Amino acid sequence: MKLAASMSRLGTESAFEVLARARALEAQGKKIIHLEIGEPDFDTPKYIRDAAVKALQEGWTHYGPSPGLPEFRKVIAEIWKAERGIPCDWENVVVTPGGKPIMFYLMLALLEPGDDVLLPNPAFPIYESVVDFIGARAVYLPLLEANEFDLDLRDFESKLSERTKLVILNTPQNPTGGVLKPETIEGIAALARKHDFMILSDEIYGRVLYEGKHLSIASLPGMADRTVVLDGFSKTYAMTGWRLGFGIMRKDLAVQLGRMQTNAVSCTASFTQRAGMAALTGPQDDALAMVEEFRRRRDVIVAGLNALPGISCLKPHGAFYVFPNITKTGLKSSELERLLMEQAGVACLAGTAFGTYGEGYLRFSYANSLENIKTALQNISDFLAVRAK
């Protein structure tokens, strides 16, 4: 069998590989605390599960329209218009199985070999994977700790050229937990109007925010037509396994992405969409309580990491990740990732899993219980103490 050459350029998410290694150690009887995977450890709130069961009983078990159920698209449009100030109605919304397909569909629909895509580094690895797969060129926008993991507008402008077709933004960020400042978002919007490029704005952590109000670039004047907002239910409602997400975009593009979906998976599961409708229109107490619990854990893990020798950690403003600087341990990120798993029983990810600018960092997900987080911190402390001897 001879695979297409493009397959050699398709990347992956190493979180799943680290998880597999951790599971192999667990099968040998070793205890591992999982701080590698980016999914809430909570159950999906009961009212949402109940809505899915009801939908199944009512017969929402058939194919639906490719871009999503109109009533669900309407609910999404109304809420994102009211809460985020994005001018949209139901025809601007495309519902997908998870937010991820929006990245894939959009880039397949938009990019050609030779196009440039500006994307943050470190960032969610699938962005670059898909850019490479298509044969476009990834141009890095470094997210530096010295700049609180915000983008540098001057650097941004210097990377623009007539080849720039798409810019990918993510706020709050995976893996740094950083949030783009409003003036940065406004500056990028001004450059988009001037240089005429499209933006994929990944706002999947938009509701996992610890201070301030989330600003969507699509809400700024003239930006709705240039922006595809990616969002979904995985993080806010602890629904990773349901596979439910969506994009908000100009109507002509929504038609094209709907066509992509007809070709790929026909549609998103109908009963899942009904559950998503219930998630958005029902009481938001569970979702808010999860964010409060994440905040408690963030404070514990940040304080704990900063107390460790050779490690320093900024306090993240959103998402459920910390991205500590480990350069003073004298170890490379991938080396420390491996040692922590094998010798401290803590699974985490090397910063380099998210790009070259992640060297010198680790990513811990604090979507785990306070008790496990405290044990992990103790284990890491013991490991570093033994090494120092």
Residue nearer to ligand PLP on the CB measure, 345 or 363: 363
Task: Tell me the closest approach of the beta carbon of residue 66 to ligand PLP, in angstroms.
Answer: 18
Task: Tell me the closest approach of the beta carbon of residue 53 to ligand PLP, in angstroms.
Answer: 22
Task: Tell me the closest approach of the beta carbon of residue 368 to ligand PLP, in angstroms.
Answer: 15
Task: Tell me the closest approach of the beta carbon of residue 239 to ligand PLP, in angstroms.
Answer: 8
Query: Which amino acid is it at 56?
Result: L
Residue nearer to ligand PLP on the CB measure, 99 or 258: 99
> Cβ distance 115 to 163 under 8 Å?
yes
Phi, psi of 184 (to 5 degrees): -70, -45
Binding site residues, ligand PLP, CB under 6 A: 38, 98-100, 124, 170, 174, 202, 204, 232, 234, 240, 245
Look at residue 361 and give its three-state secondary structure: strand
Task: Tell me the closest approach of the beta carbon of residue 170 to ligand PLP, in angstroms.
Answer: 5
Residue nearer to ligand PLP on the CB measure, 97 or 345: 97
Residue nearer to ligand PLP on the CB measure, 274 or 377: 274
Residue nearer to ligand PLP on the CB measure, 38 or 177: 38
Other beta carbons less than 10 A from residue 113's beta carbon: 9
> Cβ distance 235 to 205 under 8 Å?
yes
Give the integer Cα–Cα distance in Å for 378 and 284. Answer: 35
Task: Tell me the closest approach of the beta carbon of residue 275 to ligand PLP, in angstroms.
Answer: 14
Instruction: Return the residue nearest ligand PLP (CB atom).
Output: 98
Residue nearer to ligand PLP on the CB measure, 38 or 304: 38
Contacts of 378 (CB under 8 A, 6+ apart): none
> Cβ distance 116 to 267 under 8 Å?
no
Which burial class, exposed, middle or buried, applies to 31 when counting CB atoms under 10 A from its CB (0-12, 13-18, 19+)? Answer: exposed
